[in-house]
Amino acid sequence: MLPDTPNDTALAADTSGGTADGAAPASTSASTLAEDAGKATPKIIAISNQKGGVGKTTTAINLATGLAAVGKRVCVIDLDPQGNASTGLGISKELRVVTSYDVLVGEATPMAAMVATRIPGLMVIPASVDLSGAEIELVGAEKREYLLREALHDALPGFDYVLIDCPPGLGLLSLNALVAATAVLVPLQCEFLALEGLSHLIQTLERIRKVLNPSLELLGVVLTMFDRRNILSKSVAADVRAYFGDQVYETVIPRNVRVSEAPSHGLPVLLYDRHCAGARAYINLAREILRRESRGASARKGQG
Protein backbone atom coordinates (compact mmCIF):
# COMPACT_ATOMS: atom_id res chain seq x y z
CA MET A 1 0.00 0.00 0.00
CA LEU A 2 1.31 3.46 -0.93
CA PRO A 3 1.44 6.12 1.75
CA ASP A 4 -0.85 9.16 1.48
CA THR A 5 2.22 11.37 1.56
CA PRO A 6 5.83 10.63 0.60
CA ASN A 7 7.93 8.76 3.11
CA ASP A 8 10.12 11.22 5.02
CA THR A 9 13.19 8.99 4.83
CA ALA A 10 12.80 8.12 1.16
CA LEU A 11 12.42 11.76 0.21
CA ALA A 12 15.03 13.23 2.55
CA ALA A 13 17.05 15.83 0.70
CA ASP A 14 20.35 14.36 1.80
CA THR A 15 23.14 16.34 0.20
CA SER A 16 25.99 14.96 2.25
CA GLY A 17 28.88 13.80 0.12
CA GLY A 18 27.27 15.19 -3.06
CA THR A 19 27.83 18.33 -5.04
CA ALA A 20 26.84 21.82 -3.98
CA ASP A 21 23.32 21.44 -5.29
CA GLY A 22 22.77 18.01 -3.79
CA ALA A 23 23.22 15.90 -6.91
CA ALA A 24 26.15 13.67 -7.74
CA PRO A 25 27.42 11.83 -10.80
CA ALA A 26 25.99 8.36 -10.89
CA SER A 27 29.07 6.34 -11.77
CA THR A 28 28.93 4.35 -8.52
CA SER A 29 25.28 4.78 -7.60
CA ALA A 30 23.90 3.51 -10.90
CA SER A 31 26.09 0.42 -10.96
CA THR A 32 25.18 -0.38 -7.37
CA LEU A 33 21.53 0.13 -8.22
CA ALA A 34 21.78 -2.35 -11.06
CA GLU A 35 23.70 -4.93 -9.04
CA ASP A 36 21.23 -4.76 -6.16
CA ALA A 37 18.21 -5.30 -8.36
CA GLY A 38 19.44 -7.98 -10.71
CA LYS A 39 18.57 -8.02 -14.37
CA ALA A 40 14.94 -6.93 -14.31
CA THR A 41 13.59 -5.24 -17.43
CA PRO A 42 12.10 -1.83 -16.66
CA LYS A 43 8.78 -0.52 -17.88
CA ILE A 44 9.64 2.34 -20.22
CA ILE A 45 7.02 5.09 -20.21
CA ALA A 46 7.11 8.00 -22.65
CA ILE A 47 5.34 11.04 -21.20
CA SER A 48 4.07 12.67 -24.34
CA ASN A 49 1.65 15.16 -25.81
CA GLN A 50 2.07 16.94 -29.11
CA LYS A 51 1.02 20.17 -27.42
CA GLY A 52 3.35 22.09 -25.14
CA GLY A 53 2.50 23.51 -21.75
CA VAL A 54 0.29 20.63 -20.62
CA GLY A 55 2.39 19.40 -17.70
CA LYS A 56 4.61 16.76 -19.31
CA THR A 57 7.78 17.75 -17.50
CA THR A 58 6.01 18.42 -14.21
CA THR A 59 4.44 14.98 -14.44
CA ALA A 60 7.75 13.31 -15.31
CA ILE A 61 9.52 14.90 -12.33
CA ASN A 62 6.85 14.31 -9.73
CA LEU A 63 5.61 10.91 -10.86
CA ALA A 64 9.22 9.68 -10.83
CA THR A 65 9.64 11.07 -7.32
CA GLY A 66 6.39 9.47 -6.18
CA LEU A 67 7.44 6.07 -7.53
CA ALA A 68 10.89 6.39 -5.93
CA ALA A 69 9.27 7.36 -2.63
CA VAL A 70 7.63 3.95 -2.39
CA GLY A 71 10.81 2.04 -3.18
CA LYS A 72 10.71 1.80 -6.96
CA ARG A 73 13.96 2.29 -8.85
CA VAL A 74 13.41 4.99 -11.44
CA CYS A 75 15.40 6.63 -14.22
CA VAL A 76 14.19 9.83 -15.90
CA ILE A 77 15.47 10.45 -19.42
CA ASP A 78 15.25 14.13 -20.31
CA LEU A 79 14.77 14.25 -24.08
CA ASP A 80 13.64 17.88 -24.26
CA PRO A 81 16.36 20.31 -25.42
CA GLN A 82 15.11 22.82 -22.83
CA GLY A 83 16.28 20.43 -20.10
CA ASN A 84 13.55 21.44 -17.66
CA ALA A 85 13.21 17.95 -16.18
CA SER A 86 16.93 17.97 -15.41
CA THR A 87 16.67 21.40 -13.79
CA GLY A 88 13.54 20.46 -11.86
CA LEU A 89 15.34 17.50 -10.34
CA GLY A 90 18.27 19.64 -9.22
CA ILE A 91 20.75 18.71 -11.95
CA SER A 92 22.79 21.84 -12.65
CA LYS A 93 24.25 22.50 -16.09
CA GLU A 94 27.73 21.86 -14.68
CA LEU A 95 26.73 18.26 -13.98
CA ARG A 96 25.45 17.64 -17.51
CA VAL A 97 28.78 16.41 -18.84
CA VAL A 98 27.35 13.35 -20.57
CA THR A 99 23.75 13.73 -21.69
CA SER A 100 20.83 12.13 -23.48
CA TYR A 101 22.22 13.55 -26.71
CA ASP A 102 25.38 11.47 -26.30
CA VAL A 103 23.26 8.38 -25.62
CA LEU A 104 21.08 9.06 -28.66
CA VAL A 105 24.00 9.40 -31.08
CA GLY A 106 25.79 6.38 -29.64
CA GLU A 107 28.69 8.23 -28.03
CA ALA A 108 27.85 7.12 -24.47
CA THR A 109 25.95 4.39 -22.67
CA PRO A 110 22.88 5.23 -20.56
CA MET A 111 24.78 4.27 -17.40
CA ALA A 112 27.62 6.65 -18.27
CA ALA A 113 25.17 9.52 -18.69
CA MET A 114 23.29 9.01 -15.41
CA VAL A 115 23.38 11.53 -12.60
CA ALA A 116 22.04 10.83 -9.13
CA THR A 117 19.34 13.05 -7.66
CA ARG A 118 18.67 13.88 -4.03
CA ILE A 119 15.99 11.21 -3.99
CA PRO A 120 17.22 7.67 -3.21
CA GLY A 121 16.59 5.35 -6.15
CA LEU A 122 15.95 8.15 -8.66
CA MET A 123 18.49 8.80 -11.42
CA VAL A 124 18.45 11.19 -14.37
CA ILE A 125 19.94 11.12 -17.83
CA PRO A 126 20.01 14.90 -18.32
CA ALA A 127 19.43 16.90 -21.48
CA SER A 128 21.58 19.53 -23.11
CA VAL A 129 21.11 22.12 -25.85
CA ASP A 130 22.89 19.70 -28.21
CA LEU A 131 19.52 17.99 -28.59
CA SER A 132 18.25 21.06 -30.46
CA GLY A 133 20.29 20.14 -33.51
CA ALA A 134 19.68 16.40 -33.29
CA GLU A 135 16.57 16.51 -35.48
CA ILE A 136 18.62 17.82 -38.42
CA GLU A 137 21.85 16.01 -37.58
CA LEU A 138 20.19 12.59 -37.50
CA VAL A 139 17.81 13.02 -40.42
CA GLY A 140 19.99 10.85 -42.64
CA ALA A 141 20.92 8.29 -40.00
CA GLU A 142 20.09 4.66 -40.63
CA LYS A 143 17.12 3.47 -38.55
CA ARG A 144 16.96 6.94 -37.02
CA GLU A 145 13.63 6.23 -35.28
CA TYR A 146 15.23 3.30 -33.39
CA LEU A 147 18.36 5.01 -32.03
CA LEU A 148 17.11 5.40 -28.47
CA ARG A 149 15.52 1.96 -28.43
CA GLU A 150 18.80 0.34 -29.42
CA ALA A 151 20.74 2.43 -26.89
CA LEU A 152 18.43 1.39 -24.06
CA HIS A 153 18.24 -2.29 -24.99
CA ASP A 154 19.38 -4.29 -21.94
CA ALA A 155 21.24 -1.17 -20.77
CA LEU A 156 19.19 -0.31 -17.69
CA PRO A 157 19.05 -3.43 -15.54
CA GLY A 158 17.80 -2.96 -12.03
CA PHE A 159 15.32 -0.20 -12.72
CA ASP A 160 11.58 -0.68 -12.31
CA TYR A 161 10.60 2.34 -14.38
CA VAL A 162 12.17 4.54 -17.02
CA LEU A 163 10.24 7.77 -17.64
CA ILE A 164 11.06 9.70 -20.81
CA ASP A 165 10.21 13.40 -20.81
CA CYS A 166 9.39 14.14 -24.45
CA PRO A 167 9.56 17.52 -26.16
CA PRO A 168 6.35 18.95 -27.64
CA GLY A 169 5.42 17.97 -31.17
CA LEU A 170 6.20 14.76 -33.00
CA GLY A 171 9.70 15.29 -34.29
CA LEU A 172 12.50 12.75 -34.34
CA LEU A 173 13.18 13.06 -30.59
CA SER A 174 9.59 12.29 -29.61
CA LEU A 175 9.43 9.55 -32.21
CA ASN A 176 12.53 7.91 -30.71
CA ALA A 177 10.93 8.03 -27.27
CA LEU A 178 7.70 6.44 -28.50
CA VAL A 179 9.56 3.69 -30.37
CA ALA A 180 11.72 2.94 -27.31
CA ALA A 181 8.78 2.95 -24.90
CA THR A 182 6.54 0.10 -23.82
CA ALA A 183 3.79 2.55 -22.87
CA VAL A 184 2.82 6.19 -23.20
CA LEU A 185 1.34 8.41 -20.51
CA VAL A 186 -0.52 11.45 -21.82
CA PRO A 187 -0.87 14.55 -19.61
CA LEU A 188 -3.87 16.56 -20.78
CA GLN A 189 -4.58 20.12 -19.70
CA CYS A 190 -8.25 20.77 -18.98
CA GLU A 191 -8.75 23.44 -21.61
CA PHE A 192 -10.73 24.20 -24.77
CA LEU A 193 -10.10 21.77 -27.67
CA ALA A 194 -8.27 19.33 -25.39
CA LEU A 195 -10.38 16.42 -26.61
CA GLU A 196 -9.62 17.21 -30.24
CA GLY A 197 -5.89 17.29 -29.54
CA LEU A 198 -6.06 14.03 -27.61
CA SER A 199 -7.97 12.28 -30.40
CA HIS A 200 -5.28 13.35 -32.86
CA LEU A 201 -2.55 12.07 -30.55
CA ILE A 202 -4.27 8.70 -30.16
CA GLN A 203 -4.42 8.38 -33.96
CA THR A 204 -0.71 9.17 -34.14
CA LEU A 205 0.07 6.54 -31.52
CA GLU A 206 -1.94 4.01 -33.48
CA ARG A 207 0.14 4.71 -36.60
CA ILE A 208 3.36 4.34 -34.61
CA ARG A 209 2.08 1.04 -33.22
CA LYS A 210 1.33 -0.28 -36.71
CA VAL A 211 4.56 0.80 -38.35
CA LEU A 212 7.31 1.18 -35.74
CA ASN A 213 6.43 -0.21 -32.31
CA PRO A 214 3.72 -2.89 -32.13
CA SER A 215 4.16 -3.29 -28.36
CA LEU A 216 3.39 0.35 -27.55
CA GLU A 217 0.34 0.72 -25.31
CA LEU A 218 -1.55 3.67 -23.93
CA LEU A 219 -0.83 3.59 -20.22
CA GLY A 220 -3.41 6.25 -19.56
CA VAL A 221 -4.44 9.89 -19.69
CA VAL A 222 -3.88 12.15 -16.69
CA LEU A 223 -5.84 15.40 -16.43
CA THR A 224 -3.60 18.31 -15.42
CA MET A 225 -4.04 21.95 -14.38
CA PHE A 226 -7.55 21.15 -13.23
CA ASP A 227 -9.46 23.99 -11.55
CA ARG A 228 -12.55 22.83 -9.68
CA ARG A 229 -13.87 26.40 -9.66
CA ASN A 230 -13.75 26.58 -13.44
CA ILE A 231 -16.78 25.31 -15.37
CA LEU A 232 -14.66 24.71 -18.49
CA SER A 233 -12.24 22.49 -16.54
CA LYS A 234 -15.11 20.38 -15.27
CA SER A 235 -16.70 20.19 -18.71
CA VAL A 236 -13.45 19.14 -20.41
CA ALA A 237 -12.78 16.51 -17.74
CA ALA A 238 -16.28 15.09 -18.15
CA ASP A 239 -15.98 14.99 -21.96
CA VAL A 240 -12.58 13.27 -21.87
CA ARG A 241 -13.85 10.66 -19.39
CA ALA A 242 -16.97 10.06 -21.46
CA TYR A 243 -14.90 9.49 -24.60
CA PHE A 244 -11.94 7.54 -23.21
CA GLY A 245 -13.50 5.90 -20.16
CA ASP A 246 -11.15 3.92 -17.91
CA GLN A 247 -8.11 5.06 -19.89
CA VAL A 248 -8.38 8.33 -17.96
CA TYR A 249 -6.94 8.19 -14.44
CA GLU A 250 -9.24 8.98 -11.56
CA THR A 251 -6.50 11.16 -10.09
CA VAL A 252 -6.45 14.71 -11.43
CA ILE A 253 -3.57 17.15 -11.00
CA PRO A 254 -4.89 20.52 -9.80
CA ARG A 255 -3.59 23.97 -10.60
CA ASN A 256 -1.30 24.63 -7.68
CA VAL A 257 1.10 27.48 -6.94
CA ARG A 258 3.54 25.22 -5.10
CA VAL A 259 3.80 22.90 -8.12
CA SER A 260 4.70 25.92 -10.26
CA GLU A 261 7.26 27.22 -7.77
CA ALA A 262 9.11 23.95 -7.11
CA PRO A 263 11.18 23.69 -10.35
CA SER A 264 12.80 27.09 -9.76
CA HIS A 265 14.24 25.61 -6.56
CA GLY A 266 15.50 22.49 -8.36
CA LEU A 267 13.05 20.34 -6.42
CA PRO A 268 10.07 18.12 -7.15
CA VAL A 269 6.97 19.46 -5.42
CA LEU A 270 7.02 16.35 -3.22
CA LEU A 271 10.23 17.71 -1.68
CA TYR A 272 9.36 21.38 -1.93
CA ASP A 273 6.01 21.10 -0.12
CA ARG A 274 4.84 17.54 0.34
CA HIS A 275 1.63 18.60 2.07
CA CYS A 276 0.29 20.76 -0.76
CA ALA A 277 -2.54 19.61 -3.03
CA GLY A 278 -0.21 19.10 -6.00
CA ALA A 279 2.14 16.82 -4.07
CA ARG A 280 -0.75 14.75 -2.75
CA ALA A 281 -2.14 14.44 -6.28
CA TYR A 282 1.13 13.07 -7.67
CA ILE A 283 1.44 10.55 -4.85
CA ASN A 284 -2.14 9.48 -5.62
CA LEU A 285 -1.25 9.17 -9.30
CA ALA A 286 1.73 6.93 -8.45
CA ARG A 287 -0.57 4.85 -6.27
CA GLU A 288 -3.17 4.53 -9.02
CA ILE A 289 -0.62 3.57 -11.69
CA LEU A 290 0.84 0.83 -9.48
CA ARG A 291 -2.60 -0.39 -8.50
CA ARG A 292 -3.71 -0.65 -12.12
CA GLU A 293 -0.49 -2.40 -13.07
CA SER A 294 -0.97 -4.89 -10.24
CA ARG A 295 -4.53 -5.61 -11.36
CA GLY A 296 -3.37 -6.05 -14.95
CA ALA A 297 -0.63 -8.47 -13.89
CA SER A 298 -3.12 -10.48 -11.84
CA ALA A 299 -5.52 -10.63 -14.77
CA ARG A 300 -2.79 -11.83 -17.15
CA LYS A 301 -1.70 -14.45 -14.64
CA GLY A 302 -5.27 -15.69 -14.35
CA GLN A 303 -5.51 -16.07 -18.13
CA GLY A 304 -2.20 -17.97 -18.32
β pairing state of 24-25 and 115-116? antiparallel
Backbone region of residue 53 per phi and psi (left: phi > 0; alpha: psi in -120 to 50; beta: other values): left
Question: Measuring CA to CA, how many Å separate 76 from each of 5, 60, 196, 206?
Answer: 21, 7, 29, 25
Mean pLDDT of the chain: 86
Element at 299 (helix H, strand E): helix 277-303
Average the pLDDT over 31-56 and give the result. Answer: 77
CATH class of 24-185+192-220: alpha beta
**For residue 223, how many other CB atoms are within 10 A of its CB?**
25
| 3-class DSSP state of 263 | helix
Q: What is the pTM of this model?
A: 0.87
pLDDT single digits (tens) 176-232: 999 999 999 999 988 877 777 788 888 999 999 999 999 999 999 999 999 888 888
Domain ranges for the chain? 24-185+192-220
